Amino acid sequence: MPKVEIHLSVTVALDWLDVNRAIALFQEMQAQVGCALATSYLEAIQDATLDEVLGPKWEDVPQSEAPWTCPQCESTAGFKRRGSRRRKLRKSSLGPIPFELRQVTCRRCHSTFAPFAGWLGLEPYQVSSSEFQAKVVETACQVSYGRSVAMVDDLARVQVSATAAHRWVQERGKSVKLDAGRADGRPLLLDATRVHAGTNPRGCNLNLGISLAGRRWVGGRAQMEIHPVCLGVDETWSETGEALAACSPGRVVYDGDPDVVQWIEKTFREVPQQRCSWHLVHELGRHLWEDGLKQAQARTWVNQVRQILYQPEYSLSQRRAALHALIQQVRDRGFTHAVHYLEGAESHLFAYREQPDGMFFDQQRQEPLAISSTSPVERQMREINRRTDVGARWQPAGVTNLLRLDLIRRFDMQQWDLLWDLPRSGHDESLTANLQVSVSVRPSPNVNTS
């Protein structure tokens, strides 16, 4: 493979500098060197291609077929050099990159054009590189638009407006696809929250579904392999889960929200269902309050349910019997709201033991288990709430685009890289560069060795 050699000369005054000042000096130099190297490379690669296709300058040699096409007559042969025109990427991770874009003239129709713009991944009037846009959007997925551009300015020394960051999010977010097919045969976790969007003063619903592909231990801690499969803002579950309706999840895990329950009963009637055990315990107190109990009184019943679910010595049959007996006691006391709540969850509360998939394991009883709570999707909801609760009202489409980008940024790096046309370091030999550094001091210092 042909190589491009770029020779760089750096001259630095021989003054005594402490570590901090030396770092500041070479940081400033780094900002200049990166742009200069990029400029030199972009021009050198164009010249090398022209030499290969058209032959060396000023030499009349037979030309091979060009790898480009004339935009006017679609000819692929018979071109001559026609100078350059100035091009400048004003915003990149290296800073502004000015370079010359080589031009050719078609001998057949006499039109002049720059054949390398598309090769270099440049759109007409593009002033920022896609890799820089990706970094700005990556930051905007985590903090507000205003704070994200301030961080980019502070760290990369490149100024960009919050309006531009917002525009890049909306343009790219529309292209994100969440693959519902990844829910096939895997646990599907569903949850909903409210986001300050739309016309309702209280905001609107945000629905999220994720599938679990596996669970592994990294550094002594368990990590879930998560795939987002659906996301909808200001939508019903029928709209959000339209693509999921054609899938067959291994099980469906949910927290008991009435809208979710209604959609699951209609869509996944034959799929094993698991009510979240954590929510069952923590939501029971509210239903007992509706039945007239005070917090201290309700706590007694809540603790009994907690013991039934988490007592390690209980077998599955003992848990079922104990829960059934507790529901009967609650009914005898006349707590209608609590009875309705517990009876609705009773038949779907122990699927993690009845139909285990081995993703979890009961060390006490040496039995395989399945997931029994919505904790993984709740964790994503906390992250969503942290990002969207910025004191402003969102448009449903705007917050949807932002959150889809954030989900693939964290859980689907392949789609994220393809979205921005990013190279993957370590997988592309063209990203390998050799740097040789030699240092000399001029004039040579006088050293008396006698």
Q: Which residue has the tokens 């669970």?
A: 215
Kindly list the distances between the CA atom of residue 191 and the CA atoms of 28, 180, 186, 205, 378, in Å, as whole numbers in the listed order. Answer: 49, 16, 16, 10, 7
pLDDT on residue 221: 87
Kindly list the distances between the CA atom of residue 315 and the CA atoms of 50, 311, 328, in Å, as whole numbers in the listed order. Answer: 77, 9, 20
Distance of CA 192 to the CA centre of its chain: 20
What is the residue-averaged pLDDT of the chain?
89
> Given a cut of 80, is residue 261 above it in pLDDT?
yes
Orientation angle between helical segments 336-346 and 277-290, nearest 10 degrees = 160
What length is written for the chain? 450
Q: What is the mean pLDDT of residues 319-330?
A: 95
pLDDT on residue 15: 73
> Given a cut of 50, is residue 450 above it in pLDDT?
no
pLDDT on residue 308: 93
How far is Cα 120 from Cα 88, in angstroms, rounded to an integer?
13
How far is Cα 264 from Cα 246, in angstroms, rounded to an integer?
13
| E strands, 13-78, in order | none
Q: Which tens digit of pLDDT belongs to each residue from 291-311?
A: 999 999 999 999 999 999 988
> Given a cut of 80, is residue 373 above it in pLDDT?
yes
Q: What is the mean pLDDT of residues 250-255?
A: 96
Closest C-alpha among 53, 71, 69 to residue 61: 53
pLDDT on residue 446: 54
How far is Cα 4 from Cα 40, in angstroms, rounded to an integer?
9
**What is the side-by-side order of every strand in the sheet holding 273-275?**
221-233, 204-218, 187-195, 251-254, 273-275
Q: Which tens digit of pLDDT belongs to each residue from 433-447?
A: 565 555 555 565 555
Are 263 and 247 within 8 A, CB to CB?
A: no
| Half-sphere exposure (Cβ direction) of 409: Cα atoms closer than 13 Å | 20
Q: Which tens digit of pLDDT belongs to each residue from 379-432?
A: 999 999 999 998 889 999 999 999 999 999 999 999 999 999 887 655 555 555
Between residues 313 and 394, the one the model is more confident about: 394
Beta bridge partners of 197: 394
Beta bridge partners of 187: 251
Burial of 296 (0-12, 13-18, 19+ CB in 10 A): exposed
**What is the side-by-side order of every strand in the sheet holding 112-113?**
79-89, 97-106, 112-113
pLDDT on residue 434: 62
pTM: 0.84
Distance in angstroms between the alpha carbons of the first and the last residue of the chain: 52
How far is Cα 234 from Cα 330, in angstroms, rounded to an integer?
37
pLDDT band at 272, cuts 50/70/90? Answer: very high
Q: Which tens digit of pLDDT belongs to each residue from 21-79?
A: 888 877 777 777 888 889 999 999 999 999 988 988 887 778 888 999 999 999 998 89
Helix (H) or strand (E) holding 267: helix 258-267
Q: What is the mean pLDDT of residues 354-374?
A: 86
φ/ψ bin of 29: left (φ > 0), alpha (ψ from -120 to 50), beta (otherwise):
alpha
CB atoms within 10 A of CB 399: 24
How far is Cα 417 from Cα 182, in angstroms, rounded to an integer?
19
Closest C-alpha among 270, 281, 175, 178 to residue 229: 178
Orientation angle between helical segments 145-156 and 162-173, nearest 10 degrees = 110
Q: Which tens digit of pLDDT belongs to each residue from 140-189?
A: 999 999 999 999 998 888 899 999 999 999 999 999 999 999 999 999 99
How far is Cα 228 from Cα 138, in angstroms, rounded to an integer?
17
